Chain A
């Protein structure tokens, strides 16, 4: 609980927090005006709270989109644009200072300002950004007391006007969420701890389990396990390493846990050719996983402009487009590619304390300085920073030196044209062509059309480094020879169209089979447990139905267990102390249903195994010094029972083997589970009791959050549950590309950002249960029955 807002304005029942109650329901009929609107726009809200917008031009449709999004998600708009801008202190005061500092040091504001200056004012992108801002601001200008979102009352603040640059900033924020990976920095620590060969093997460029997005010749995963090089002794003592870690983390504003866990977002998408579906139509599933928040990151909408677009899907409040969705002919969804699009360079500077110049090719170049001022809600400056830039990007001062950062997301503006083209496309091919210029954050874009085509392409700008070197090292900044040479040509992008196997799937795994890859795309790929599982499911079903697609979203199966459970059981055989643990693990059906009472034993045992095996990456106090190695690396290590990695260095009197560690891990897990959750059959071990999804409000306020939600799925499942439960499936969609497109969808939240609204969290129960709503996709107003309509908004042009 933070400081209380001033009581008078807060409690005022006419204008204060209580007034929010009056805006919880949608009026049956209401109207508004938006400057610049050229025609009348009708917005019909269906019974799911989804606005269907009928406009006569794309600009008008986007104006209306801005208006309806602002009506439902105004506070979210502000937070999501202020976060990358680094101006949250102006809303929340000093409490947000560290967050703001972190974001400003990444250079988002400078980058967005430059992009805005360079944007051709006559381009469709510029027009749409302006139209969107007009719509949002029209709502703000016409807002009544009751329309002020709840959070503004808490903060005693007023909404700021929306500017087109805020949309650009929001895209930076998405990039930060999806592709900000400082692997060069934490890999340096791993190298210090275990030596370069071991570090390279622990965090390989190519993943040892191969089940690529672009199908290779084998429908089965391929296991390219290599013997893990022995760990070298640390080249510095653990204390100094820890200090370096703290320093770097502090500079990045990242908590140790967050860094250690690695990138959390994960996503799935898949599509099935008509030849393998029961209905004979292509099917597509979208299942992007992101941080779970209330309100949700997504807002569902249907935009109709005759002859231009008729698109239904989800937009991110702040972006003037539908991101994931479908039209009358094409459906699409994204997963994060996770490509390496960010590099660090160690710069040579003229002053360690206050650098003003940096060395490039033997000449001193001026360092650009940008003074960042942080203000409180009253406008007073509460802190200042100097952020320095080289031609590559922002410079961060660390014990490791002055590191400049180059990142595609600071150099290429969000463009609306690809999305506009995609929304209006009629075939998968046309859709892919429209999305070709999309700069990033790179996405595995899957698409299916009504003609039965399915396709996938990992789209975004991928840098080409000198000598096709990988991006895992900090390069010498004193020479331009270290700089990127350009970007991958489109034809090199991982792509698949109508594969022979009849389906396509991506789950953040390495897009290309390393045997086919010519250029470095990235490293440290997501372990393909989910990809393997969805491939398994799709390969096993030649009559896929939309309902099966729905069930796959929360499929309780997990291929990871198939690799590790036999090893645990074998190690425990003959160990009398482990009879009970072995029996319990044997009983496990290897599924993560909510009722399952054995999965927790396996998960604890696996964590223990990781901790005991890779103890070289931990301090004696249990603090992790580096990101966790992939579980697939651990799985590969199972094949070498005498590897020195198995030795637990904490026991100096003996050398442990694989089976010793497996048995000890299982025993420790058994003890831990009993201690934490009681006896195995007393209900405390039930998966729903030990693992939850937690959907937090944007301000983290528990009363506005929904925590402790049971989840069907564990780490590595198609519906994964991360450690703290804050990440998960953010939008689930199944689309059947029949003569009339049918779709089913839901997301964990609700359309309204008003916490007192019945539509604030009305979809969560459905989401927890793995159910979907049938989406209403009317051709026109007459297609909607009266019972399906809960409100009608008429928008007209108004004075600016």
Chain B
């Protein structure tokens, strides 16, 4: 949560500064720009909304610090037939609504980047292929040599690489977070594979583990099950079926944490 807060803070300063420089039109202008450059999964409308309100709040505080805001609030409210505080609320709501609207428009107008679906998938609107892979060539993970097959952005903070081992079959993949990132910070990891039985290797700092995705048929229909097979270092084998409603792979950060914790301790994981 640090990154969105920082975005709101910095953007609020920008809203305050540009409003002071050029006036209220800076709000929709800046929010529109923000909508154009921010990724959709970064919730540009919400960030702009909060930042604009905060930005104007800075300016109100500035006015109050150097002048008679209390009296002015009372007077302005009286003229408008409102309680004084309502005018302040209106003053904060106005840029928030304006910025939200402009950011949403900007976001909608943002040029769509070309998306490449995983093999076997009809399309993946969330994942965007990065033109230039950060990892090139082959890397050594888990004692095996892996080839970078794809690099994807997945949400505002997630950079994953889908790797296939040069000496491994297609149903083996390795998921590795961006260097320096903790895999446990990933909001959501989708592991997609057309193979009914895919082995997935995670690389988290010094610890490594691998999972196997299998498909089992149940009365309720197909369920994808993740089976955490090994955890290197722990030496234990943990198996826990994890149902997914749709898609393949691990679901949420908390679930992943629990799975990882369970794998490390050899105790039960998420159900």
B60-108 residues with Cβ-Cβ distance < 8 A to A are 60, 62-64, 66-69, 71-72, 74-81, 87, 90-91, 94, 98
| Cα(A14)–Cα(B58), bound, Å | 10
B56 touches A22 (CB 8 A): no
A756–B75 touching, CB < 8 Å:
yes
Q: Is there contact, CB below 8 Å, between B72 and A702?
A: no
- Give the residue among B27, B76, B77, B90 with the most A Cβ atoms within 10 A: B76
Closest Cβ neighbor of A18 among chain B residues: B63
Would you call A756 and B80 a contact (CB within 8 A)?
Answer: no
On whether the beta carbons of A14 and B69 are closer than 8 Å, the reply is no
How far apart sit A1 and B87, CA to CA, in the bound complex (Å)? 15
B23 lies within 8 A of A12 (CB): yes
Q: Which residue of B lies closest to A20 (CB)?
A: B72
Cα A433 to Cα B66 with chains together (Å): 50
Quick one: given A150-B75, A703-B75, are A13 and B67 in contact (CB under 8 Å)? Answer: no
Q: Is the CB of B75 within 8 A of A18?
A: no
**B59 contacts A18, C-beta separation under 8 Å:** yes
Interface residues of A (CB under 8 A from B): 1, 4, 7-9, 11-25, 146, 150, 154, 701-704, 755-758
Interface string of B1-30 (1 = CB under 8 A from A): 000000000000000000110011101000
Chain B residue numbers with a CB within 8 Å of A154 are: 79
Q: Which chain B residues lie closer than 8 Å to A703 at the CB level?
A: 74-75, 77-79
A755:B24 contact, CB within 8 angstroms: no
In the bound assembly, the distance between CA atoms of A740 and B94 in angstroms comes to: 59
In the complex, A18→B208 CA distance in Å? Answer: 59
Whether A19 lies near B75 (C-beta < 8 A) is no
A143 to chain B, nearest CB (A): 15
Instruction: Please name 14 pairs of A and B residues whose Cβ atoms are closer than 8 Å in the assembled complex, sorted by A.
Output: A11-B90, A11-B94, A13-B56, A13-B62, A15-B24, A17-B76, A18-B59, A20-B72, A24-B68, A24-B72, A703-B75, A704-B79, A756-B71, A758-B68
Q: Known A4-B80, A150-B75, A755-B75; judge A14-B67 contact (CB<8 A).
A: no
Of B63, B87, B94, which is within 8 A of A21 by CB?
B63
> A757 to chain B: which residues have CB within 8 Å?
68, 71
Closest to A153 in B: B76
Indicate which residue in B23, B24, B78 contacts A702 across the interface (CB closer than 8 Å): B78
| B13 CB, min distance to chain A CBs, angstroms | 14
Closest to A703 in B: B78
- Alpha-carbon separation in the docked complex, A15 to B60 (Å): 11
Note all chain B residues with C-beta closer than 8 A to A758: 68, 71
5 more contacts with CB within 8 A, not counting A11-B24, A18-B63, A703-B77, are A1-B81, A8-B23, A16-B24, A22-B63, A22-B66
Q: Which 8 A-B pairs have the closest CB atoms?
A: A703-B78, A21-B67, A13-B59, A756-B72, A12-B24, A24-B68, A8-B24, A14-B20
| In-complex Cβ contact of A756 among B25, B56, B67, B87 (8 A) | B67
In the docked arrangement, what's the CA distance between A24 and B67, Å? 6
A-B contact count (CB 8 A): 93
What CA separation (Å) do A44 and B72 show in the bound complex? 26
- Assembly CA distance A289 to B60 (angstroms): 41
The docked-state distance in angstroms from the alpha carbon of A468 to that of B230 is 124
Contact A18 B19 (CB under 8 A): no
Is there contact, CB below 8 Å, between A704 and B75? Answer: yes
Tell me whether chain A's interface is mostly helix, strand or loop, or mixed.
helix
Q: Are B94 and A8 in contact (CB under 8 A)?
A: yes
In angstroms, how far is the closest chain B Cβ from the Cβ of A150? 7
Which chain A residues border B94 with CB–CB below 8 Å?
7-8, 11
Chain A residues positioned under 8 Å from B19 (CB to CB): 12-14
Most chain B C-beta atoms within 10 Å of own C-beta, residue among A11, A146, A702: A11
Residues of chain B within 8 A (CB-CB) of A25 are 67-68
Task: Select the residue from B27, B59, B79, B81 with max chain A CB neighbours within 10 A.
Answer: B79
Q: Which of A18, A701, A755 is the one whose CB lies under 8 Å from B60?
A: A18
**Beta-carbon contact of A21 and B68 below 8 Å:** yes
B residues 182-241 touching A (CB-CB < 8 Å): none
CB distance from B55 to the nearest CB of A (A): 9
Contact between B80 and A13, CB atoms less than 8 A apart: no
Q: Please, how many angstroms separate the alpha-carbon atoms of A21 and B90 in the complex?
A: 17
CA distance A121 to B74 in the complex (A): 48
Q: Which residues of B contact A13 (CB under 8 A)?
A: 19, 56, 59-60, 62-63, 91
When C-beta atoms are compared, the residue in chain A nearest to B84 turns out to be A703
- Complex Cα distance A757/B74, Å? 12
Report whether A21 and B78 are in contact in the complex, using a CB–CB cutoff of 8 Å: no
Contact with A along B244-269 (1 / 0, CB 8 A): 00000000000000000000000000
Which chain A positions have C-beta within 8 A of B78?
701-704
By a CB distance below 8 angstroms, the chain A residues around B90 are 7, 11
Assembled-state Cα–Cα distance A11/B64 (Å): 15
Measured CB to CB, the closest approach of chain A to B140, in angstroms, equals 57
Nearest CB to that of A8 among chain B residues? B24
- B23 engages A21 (CB within 8 Å): no
**B71→A24 contact, CB < 8 A:** yes
A64 to chain B, nearest CB (A): 25
Q: Which residues of the other chain, B, contact A704 by a CB distance below 8 angstroms?
A: 75, 78-79
Residues of the B chain whose Cβ atoms lie less than 8 Å from the Cβ of A20 = 67, 72
Most buried by B among A13, A16, A150: A13
B25: chain A residues at CB < 8 Å are: 8
B23, A14: Cβ atoms closer than 8 Å? yes
- For the complex, give the distance between the alpha carbons of A7 and B98 in Å: 11
Q: Is the CB of B59 within 8 A of A14?
A: yes
A22 B59 Cβ-Cβ under 8 A: no
Question: Which chain A residue shows the least CB distance to B67?
Answer: A21
